[in-house]
Structure 1
Amino acid sequence: MTQSNAAPSFILVHPQLGENIGAAARVMANFGLADLVLVAPRDEWPNPKAVSMAVGSPVLDNARLVDDLTAGVGGFTRLYATTARPRGMEKPVMTAREGMADVRAAIAAGEKVGVLFGGEKGGLLNDAVALADVIITLPVDRSFSSLNLGQAVGIAAYEWMAEEGAPAVFDPVSDVASRFDLEGMFEHFEAELERAGFFYPPDKTPLMVQNLRTAFVRGRWTTQEVRTFRGCVKALAMGRGKARTLRDK
């Protein structure tokens, strides 16, 4: 697989559990990241537990396996090291959100970017952090700061994609009901309420109608919702009429 400079690579340094590698590959695919580098994973490779956890992620299928950190980072021009522990190094320190924004800027400037994640036991070693241009950390509770490797990758992957905004399939509906449609629904509903004796006492009717209409307008009804509701009102009115007919017999 040829790595594109349009997105960062995620580099897992000495990961231990296949499950976490698979989880990382899965969430990377979720957020549009394609290049995963594995630096000397502890357990066998390929790893069946990683395959199971990745649930078909193409990121795992194309993961690049290297023997040491030098081989893993040699082709990059800018590196970010993720860590929960202060290292006493004079480097810029950013949150994942700030870091991924910085990654975007670096990529836009033509840099080839890698993000380093340490193994489960102790995170990144100082030698790995020393190679990085920037440290990325999270505002975790200092009394319990260690994240699962897959979770850490997931947070960074999410922040990479978050700037894109919500997917277009979640755009607001465009079929908003017109005031003409709403007025017809109001009149239909209010007429049935009147027949059912809902508006009592009579002098309160204008306020009750106003409250109902205000609530309906606030809902931003679609044309289909208006039709459905009017169908419900009609069905209830017909049912009430049938019940009265039975009682009158």
Structure 2
Amino acid sequence: MTRNAHIDPAATGLSLTAPCVILCEPQLGENIGTAARAMANFGLSDLRLVNPRDGWPSEKARAAASRADHVIDGVQVFDSVEAAIADLSFVFATTARSREVAKPVRGPDEAAATTSRLGAEGAKVGYLFGRERWGLNNDEVALADEIVTLPVDPDFASLNIAQAVLVCSYEWRVKANGGALPFRLDEEANPPASKDDLQRLFDHFEGALDAVNFFRPPEKRPSMVRNLRNILQKAALTDQEVKTLRGVIAALEGRKTRPHSGSGESGKG
């Protein structure tokens, strides 16, 4: 039997305003594209560029975006950070280094909590990312409300822009939808095995092992049986898994099994 999966509605649609991502003077189209891909993974689409070095549009960016075309098609280009953030209510400046600018410093999870709270109120929030080689300057950081930094190793704090965008986008998504996953297995369609069925499995398994003289020396049989039963108990087997194991044991015994229609698996022996 194939395990059924169901989609969590919270994972497919969000009612709050999503943040935008601003890349300040990005140098490589590939980095823009991979940042767009990271955004799309977590439901963000508002990408803004400030003076991209190689101009815009960029075929390298589109290729690296790996089908995140809706993000690439919606890119807005600005000639200054001030213009790029003009319509926003709150801005986070992302940096991995300590700055002279006195700002509250948040981790990506804290920033995401603020972003989702403001987004629920309809406010527009932006994450400002700096250049590949040296990030944001102090004047650019000064334009932000708070700093967001990742808990990286201080001895190797440099992150690719797309990696930083991905972490911030991920944390926002977790806060925005309460951690809803895109799918879960339907437990009702895969009920746990009853204790009676487990006991029948134990008896079947142990009987098959007795037939091949597995339990040697005989005086160790009780402890070996307990160990085997503990192993099977830890597996938290479903009803279908017990049937499959019984079919496996029956096949090893050389007994005919009852095939399950359409599943290709063996039933109880």
TM-score (norm 2): 0.82
Pairwise CA distance, 1:168? 4.8
Map of 1:231 onto structure 2: 247
Map of 1:86 onto structure 2: 98
Pairwise CA distance, 1:116? 0.4
**Which of the residues 210, 218, 221 maps onto 1:205?**
221
Q: Does 1:76 align with 2:88?
A: yes
Q: Is the 8 A contact 2:194 2:239 kept in 1?
A: yes
Map of 2:206 onto structure 1: 190
Once superposed, what is the RMSD of the aligned Cα atoms?
1.9
**Which of the residues 43, 48, 68 maps onto 1:37?**
48
**Which of the residues 149, 154, 167 maps onto 2:181?**
167
SS of residue in 2 equivalent to 1:146 = coil
Higher Cα radius of gyration: 1
Pairwise CA distance, 1:205? 2.1
Per-residue deviation, residues 122-181 of structure 1 (Å, max 9, x unmatched): 111222111111100123233332211111111111111234325152447442222122
Q: Is the 8 A contact 2:21 2:126 kept in 1?
A: yes
Pairwise CA distance, 1:51? 0.7
- How do 1:1-249 residues align onto structure 2 when only pairs under 5 Å count? 6-57=17-68, 58-163=70-175, 164-165=178-179, 167-171=181-185, 173-174=187-188, 175=190, 176-238=192-254
The CA distance in 1 between the partners of 2:201 and 2:163, in whole Å, is 49
Map of 1:242 onto structure 2: none
Q: Is the 8 A contact 1:5 1:113 kept in 2?
A: no
The CA distance in 2 between the partners of 1:39 and 1:157, in whole Å, is 19
Pairwise CA distance, 1:92? 0.7
221-230 or 26-35: bigger deviation: 221-230
Residue identity in the other structure for 1:114: G
The CA distance in 2 between the partners of 1:87 and 1:142, in whole Å, is 14
Distance 1:156 1:26, change over 3 A: same
Percent identity of equivalent pairs: 48
Pairwise CA distance, 1:198? 1.4
The CA distance in 1 between the partners of 2:224 and 2:155, in whole Å, is 55
Structure 1: tracts of 5 or more residues without a match: 240-249
SS of residue in 2 equivalent to 1:238 = coil
The CA distance in 1 between the partners of 2:171 and 2:232, in whole Å, is 37
Q: Is the 8 A contact 1:5 1:112 kept in 2?
A: no
Q: Is the 8 A contact 2:45 2:71 kept in 1?
A: yes
The CA distance in 2 between the partners of 1:184 and 1:105, in whole Å, is 54
Residue identity in the other structure for 1:184: R
Pairwise CA distance, 1:206? 2.1
Distance 1:14 1:5, change over 3 A: farther
The CA distance in 2 between the partners of 1:33 and 1:44, in whole Å, is 23
The CA distance in 2 between the partners of 1:80 and 1:207, in whole Å, is 61
The CA distance in 2 between the partners of 1:81 and 1:131, in whole Å, is 8
The CA distance in 1 between the partners of 2:152 and 2:94, in whole Å, is 13
The CA distance in 1 between the partners of 2:16 and 2:137, in whole Å, is 26
The CA distance in 2 between the partners of 1:21 and 1:182, in whole Å, is 55
Pairwise CA distance, 1:64? 1.7
Per-residue deviation, residues 167-225 of structure 1 (Å, max 9, x unmatched): 15244744222212211211111111111111233332222222111110110112221
